[in-house]
Structure 1
Amino acid sequence: MFSLQGKSVVVTGGSKGIGRGIAAVFATAGANVAIAARSAVDLDSAVADLDGLGSGTVIGVSADVSQRDSCVAMAAEVVAAFGGIDVLCANAGIFPDAPLKSMTSEQLDQMLDTNVKGTFYSVQACLDALIASGRGRVVLTSSITGPITGFPGWTHYGASKAAQLGFMRTAAIELSPHKITVNAVLPGNILTEGIAEMGEDYIAQMARSIPAGALGEPADIGYAVAFLASDEAGYITGQTLTVDGGQVLPESPEALSSTGV
């Protein structure tokens, strides 16, 4: 029902974690997928794993979204390879922790440069191609942390993820005359490489706070992004879709223990 075959898709931060899950869903659906990331080794690994999943082509593009010129070069390379851009998944992001009291200017700048400026630069760089598509889609990877919840050590991360949603709402208005939609997914705890390294005990502890009883998989975010990128979602813009297994619902741990979770 939701055909993405032949669409040209850019996934920033697509070489691992949630981005790789998003790229895999689009590749399996037959889209032409450009994975953008900074690490050539990670790009090569992702392309090798994902190419051949569907009828489309998967390529890797070296890019640092915190640099405007790098984003411009990324978009030009994708247009040259695929003939255009239909979907931009602005997923690239970082999440190092830093206590508010000791946070340095460099730590704050690093977070905002990648997570906030990177969103602006990626969209700006792809905008001409998205307009030319006639049905452009922009899907941002935000988070429950910042827009809905908070976590110690992540004031800068939470602020960056909330900022993405402020960007989204006005960008959705500005780009609507071009038939471009701008939406965001808000992942909860997703079982990425970084989380897996924390160990089974940590994962089990996290899972107990989620009504679904388990962490999400990167593909769970990919399916949500693919829906928002579909033609059928063309009347949805400026909206957020929380994908967290119900994590934000309980008002206390007791709310889950009383259900037997």
Structure 2
Amino acid sequence: MSAKAVVTGGTRGVGLAVARRLCADGTDVLLVYGHSDADAKHALDALTGLPGTVTAVRADLTAPAGVVRVLGEVRETWGALDVFVHAAAQRRPSAGPRVSLRDVRDDLALALAPLLAGVPVLTDLMAGRPGRVVAVSSAGAGQVVPSYLTQGVAKAALESLVRYLAVELAPAGITVNAVSTSKIDKGAGGEGPAHVAATLAARTPAGRLTTADDIADAVALLCRPDAGWIHGQVVTVDGGLSLVAG
């Protein structure tokens, strides 16, 4: 029987890369997205034909009821779950005193609500299985990144939550971990000045920027059965960039 996975933010960027990697391994994947039906259609088209099946559902992940509804559909459709990957995040610049408290609350809600609200149901759905929960974080959780204040605060809170949930869920055989990276290579027309990307790529010991596929590969590793003794860790996936002094 195929493994079953839920990927939040699974219709674009890192989430889509994770979904592609899991589907390529034969996992049946449910993509959860918050806004763009066009992105969802594109993702479904892109993943069709891979060994694993793929479906998509729209939900407000900033509200606890959103993820509870999604997991309720998982229960009705599959009856169980093996993997939950939380890759959903906002895309908006935020900096300094211009940040509003509402923006901070919104990013914190998106980072924390899916895991906090989903844990009771996840524990039940993953009972008797080697459950895997993986969150996608970023270097902004521990470093100051320009125009990233609200997201950085949210990612820092997410990493802390990963550690707490890892301790709570370990007795049930469920691992909770995170992967983190710095700037992601989004190709021509990507976010930010091209010279910044070029500078970071030149500083990276492995010789290039991290791609979404690099992160997806790390997520897939944490989802393997032989990763069962890794609990509460934040795995940095950046080609060694964070090892180099500024």
The two structures share one fold, judged by TM-score above 0.5 = yes
Aligned length: 245
Aligned counterparts of 1:35 and 1:194: Cα–Cα separation in 2: 26
Q: Judging changes above 3 Å, is the alpha-carbon distance between structure 1 residues 229 and 142 closer, same or farther for their aligned structure 2 residues? A: same
The reply to whether residue 6 of structure 1 matches residue 2 of structure 2 is yes
Q: What is the CA-CA distance between 1:127 and the residue it aligns to?
A: 3.2
Tell me what 1:65 maps to.
61
Instruction: State which of 106, 110, 116 in structure 1 corresponds to 2:106.
Output: 110
Q: Is the 8 A contact 1:191 1:216 kept in 2?
A: yes
Instruction: State which of 117, 122, 125 in structure 2 corresponds to 1:121.
Output: 117
* Residues 68-83 of structure 1 mapped to structure 2, 5 A cutoff: 68-83=64-79
The reply to whether residue 135 of structure 1 matches residue 125 of structure 2 is no
Aligned counterparts of 1:100 and 1:93: Cα–Cα separation in 2: 20
> For residues 226-260 of structure 1, what are the alpha-carbon distances to aligned partners after superposition, in whole Å with 9 as ceiling and x for unaligned?
111111101111111100111111113xxxxxxxx
Q: Match for 1:62: what amino acid?
A: R
What 5-or-longer segments of structure 2 have no aligned partner? none
Q: Match for 1:183: what amino acid?
A: N
Aligned counterparts of 1:215 and 1:136: Cα–Cα separation in 2: 31
Tell me the secondary structure at the aligned position of residue 203 of structure 2.
Answer: coil
Tell me the secondary structure at the aligned position of residue 98 of structure 1.
Answer: coil
Identical-residue share of aligned pairs (%): 33
> For residues 87-106 of structure 1, what are the alpha-carbon distances to aligned partners after superposition, in whole Å with 9 as ceiling and x for unaligned?
00011112422222121122
Tell me the secondary structure at the aligned position of residue 116 of structure 1.
Answer: helix
Q: Match for 1:53: what amino acid?
A: L
Q: Judging changes above 3 Å, is the alpha-carbon distance between structure 1 residues 251 and 201 closer, same or farther for their aligned structure 2 residues? A: closer
Q: Match for 2:55: what amino acid?
A: I
Tell me the secondary structure at the aligned position of residue 196 of structure 1.
Answer: coil
Q: Judging changes above 3 Å, is the alpha-carbon distance between structure 1 residues 34 and 192 closer, same or farther for their aligned structure 2 residues? A: farther
Aligned counterparts of 1:215 and 1:97: Cα–Cα separation in 2: 21
Q: What is the CA-CA distance between 1:12 and the residue it aligns to?
A: 0.2
Tell me what 1:40 maps to.
37
Tell me what 1:87 maps to.
83
Aligned counterparts of 1:94 and 1:197: Cα–Cα separation in 2: 14
Moved more, 59-68 or 22-31: 59-68
The reply to whether residue 30 of structure 1 matches residue 33 of structure 2 is no
Aligned counterparts of 1:119 and 1:93: Cα–Cα separation in 2: 13
Q: Match for 1:231: what amino acid?
A: P
> For residues 123-181 of structure 1, what are the alpha-carbon distances to aligned partners after superposition, in whole Å with 9 as ceiling and x for unaligned?
44433212x2421110011111123x221332322221111121111111111121111
Aligned counterparts of 1:137 and 1:80: Cα–Cα separation in 2: 20
Q: Match for 1:204: what amino acid?
A: A
Aligned counterparts of 1:73 and 1:107: Cα–Cα separation in 2: 24
The reply to whether residue 163 of structure 1 matches residue 160 of structure 2 is no
Instruction: State which of 189, 204, 226 in structure 2 corresponds to 1:232.
Output: 226
Tell me what 1:211 maps to.
205
Q: What is the CA-CA distance between 1:107 and the residue it aligns to?
A: 1.6
Q: What is the CA-CA distance between 1:194 and the residue it aligns to?
A: 9.6
Tell me what 1:257 maps to.
none
